[in-house]
Structure 1
C-alpha cells in the first residue's frame, strides 16, 4: 500500500513543483538566466561550487566523529562511505543510506550497530543545526523579529553543553524501532555540532554567490541565502517520498530568497543551486571513489593501518 502511494505521490509532487517553478520563471527567468552568462559571473559560479565542496568536506568530518568504538574510520574510507551514502539519497526513502553505511562500515571493520548509531545521530544533528542556521533568513522575512534567532542559538548551545539533550531523544526513538543507538562521548557530539554548523554556514555561501551573480546586494542577501539553503535542505529531507526532496527544496529557497530578489530571479537561483549541489556531490563522489580505487587498499586493511 505504501509503495503504491509513494509511486503515485512522487510524480504528482514533482509535477506540481515543476508547474510552480515554471510559472515563477516565465516572466523574469530568462533575464535572470542570462545573468549567469556574463563573464564577471564566472568567478562567482566557481566560488559557489568551491563553497559547496568545502561544506561537504566539513559534513564528512561531522559524521565521522560520531562513530564510537576503538576503530574509527578515517581518510578515504570515511569519505568513500559518506559519499556513497550521499548518492543513495537520490532514491526515495532513508533506508538506502543506512544500508550503505552499515554495509561498507562492516567491510571497514566497524560493527553494524555503531554505523547505525552514527548515521542516526548525524541525521538528527544535521536537522537540528540546519533548522538553527535556517533562521538566518528570518530577519529578511520578518523585519524587526531578530529575537527568533535566539531560540535555535539557545538550543544549539544547550546541546553543546549537554549533548544528552540531542542523543537521548534519538536513542529513545531508535529503541522503539528496535535499532539501539550507542551514544558517542560528549566531546564527540560537541565536535559534531560545531562541524555541522560550520558545514551549513560554508555550504550556504554557494547560494549567496549565486544571488550575487544575479544582482543581489552583498550584505542584504548573505543571511537570507545561507539561511534559505539550510532551511530548504532540512525541509526537503523530511519529504522522504521525493528523491532528494526535488521540488520541495527549490520552492523553499525561492520563497526565502524572494525577500531580497524578484520572484523569478529567486527561482532561477534555486534551480542553479540544485545544479551546483549535484555537480559538487557527483564530482566529489567521483574523485573520492576513483582515489579509493587507485589506492587499491581494501577498506578493512586501511582501517587497520589507521587505528
Structure 2
C-alpha cells in the first residue's frame, strides 16, 4: 500500500499550536515581571528586614494566602451568578495563574488571561470579560465599605482626608443594583455585537461576592498589622489603620491601571494611612515588605496551580 503524502498541518491545528505557545510566552513574561518586582522591593528593604521577627513574616504570609483564597471565592460567586459555575480546582487554576497579569502594566491583563483560560472550561469570553470588570467594581465597593466602617478608629488626619467616602458609598451601592447592571452590560454587549450573557446576575451573588471581598480586605489588613507589630508598632492603635490603609491603597491603586499592580500609588496610600500611628520611615518599610510578600504569595499560588494542572493533565 502506497504511503500517503504528509500534507501541511490543518489551519485549526496551527492556530491551536500558536495559541499554546502564545500562552506560554505570556506566562513567562508575567513571571519575569513578578520576579523583577520582588528583586526591586527586596533591595529596598533588605537592611530593615533584620528588624522584623520571623514569626511576624510567617504570620503575615498566612493571612496573605487566606486573603487570596477569599478573593478566589469572590471570583467564583460572580462567575456562578453570570451563569458559568465552576468547581474549585479549575477556578483556582484560572484565578491564581491569571493574577500574574497584575505585574504587566495595564489592569486588563488579568482579565485577558481569565478569558483565554476560561475557554478550556467552556466559560464564554463575554462572561469572563464582564466578570473581570465586576470583580474590580466589587473590590472597590467592599474596600470603601471596610474603610468607612473602621474610619472612627483611625487618625484624625486620615478621617479628614477621606471623609468624602461616606458620601460616595451609597452611590456605589446604587450603581451595582442588578437592574442597572443588567441594563448597562446589555447595552455594552449589543454595541460590541456580542450575544447576551447566559444569566443575569442578582442581588444574592453580588452581596455574597461583596461579603467575601470584605473578608479579603480584613485578612490582608491583618497581614499589614502583623508586619507593623514586627516593627514595634502599637497593636491597638495600628489595627484599624492597617486594615483601612490596605483596603484604600488597593482600591485607589486600581485607578493607576497603567502601573504594574498599582506600584507607587498603593504604597503611598498605605504609608499615609500608617503615618499617623508610627514613624513615616517605618510605614514605608511596611509598605515595601507587604508588596514583596504579596508578590511572593502570588507566585507561590500560581506555581502550585501550574504543578497541579500539569500533573492532572
* TM-score normalised by L of structure 2: 0.74
1:292 deviates by 1.6
Query: Which of structures 1 and 2 has the bigger CA Rg?
Result: 2
Distance 2:311 2:83 in 1: 27
Distance 1:47 1:269 in 2: 14
Which structure has the higher relative contact order (CA within 8 Å, separation 6+)? 1
User: Which residue of structure 2 aligns with residue 301 of structure 1?
Assistant: none
1:141 deviates by 3.9
CA contact (8 A) 1:254 1:267 kept: yes
User: Which residue of structure 2 aligns with residue 188 of structure 1?
Assistant: 205
* 1:18-97 to 2 correspondences below 5 Å: 33-36=49-52, 41-67=53-79, 68=81, 71-97=84-110
5+ residue gaps, structure 2:
1-39
Distance 1:99 1:30 in 2: 34
Question: How many residue pairs are counted as aligned between the two chains?
Answer: 266
Distance 1:207 1:173 in 2: 38
Q: Structure 1 residues 108 and 198, CA, compared in 2 at 3 Å: closer, same or farther?
A: same
1:84 deviates by 2.2
Q: Structure 1 residues 54 and 184, CA, compared in 2 at 3 Å: closer, same or farther?
A: same
Distance 1:46 1:155 in 2: 39
Greater shift after overlay, 229-238 or 60-69?
A: 60-69
Distance 1:241 1:113 in 2: 23
* 1:289-300 to 2 correspondences below 5 Å: 289-296=306-313
The question of 1:233 aligning with 2:278 is answered no
User: Which residue of structure 1 aligns with residue 215 of structure 2?
Assistant: 198
Distance 1:238 1:178 in 2: 28
Greater shift after overlay, 224-233 or 173-182?
A: 173-182
1:275 deviates by 1.0
Distance 1:177 1:252 in 2: 36
The question of 1:129 aligning with 2:142 is answered yes
Q: Structure 1 residues 263 and 144, CA, compared in 2 at 3 Å: closer, same or farther?
A: closer
CA contact (8 A) 1:228 1:253 kept: yes
1:95 deviates by 3.1
- Provide, for residues 21-77 of structure 1, a one-character-per-residue CA deviation record: whole Å limited to 9, x for no partner: x9xx9xxx89854421xxxx2221111011011010011110111124654222221
1:194 deviates by 0.9
